[in-house]
Amino acid sequence: MHIHVNTASEHLRDFAERLPELFDREGEVLHAGRNTIKAFEAEGERLVVKRFKRPNLLRAVIYTFFRRSKARRSYEHAVRLRALGVDSPEPVAWSEYRRRGLLCDSYYVSRRSDYTPLSQTTARFPRSGDPARAGGLRPLHRAAPRERHRAPGLQPRQHPLGPHPPRAPTASS
């Protein structure tokens, strides 16, 4: 077991240490999918805990010996975002649990915020090439030739090194 708690949230260490037993029995499920996200109240604070999917054997080896766990990276990314002034829920802790020496469970804990989730914010953005989602707006780029927009009499731009020489035939052609 490896637990890291933000120094400003040291009073929540007991909660972070008890996560494996608390997670399945308590909390409000906010998302259940590949990973599970639950809301908790601990020490009078609103918290969100994300339990990451258990890695298969190969990924467990990778996360144990070669890469940081997803929980730890989530915590570190949140710290960086906040340092850059990006509104992001305050990171509280991350924890990793091993079985037979390999990573099996990992949790990321943050304070719960009232920010609009990024998935909801970006849902209103149009997808590339989908004018219907943009309320009838056309994409910002067009496939029309550039010469069409040039003033009469101007020549197309030339490459600074001149025209490209023809390619030499390859063995496959």
Fold for the domain defined by 2-112: Phosphorylase Kinase; domain 1 (3.30.200)
b/e sequence 53-62, b meaning 16+ C-beta within 10 Å:
eebeeeebee
In the chain, domain spans: 2-112
Closest to 72 (Cα-Cα) out of 60, 81, 63:
63
Q: What is the pLDDT of residues 150-169, one digit of tens each?
A: 455 555 555 555 555 555 66
Q: Name residue, tokens 């943009």.
A: 134
Radius of gyration of the CA atoms of the chain, in A: 26
Q: Do residues 9 and 95 make contact, with C-beta atoms less than 8 angstroms apart?
A: no
- Residue 132, pLDDT score: 55
pTM more than 0.85: no
CA distance 157 to 141: 19
* Mean pLDDT split into 10-residue runs, the chain, 173 residues: 93 95 95 95 95 90 90 95 90 94 93 82 73 52 49 53 57 55
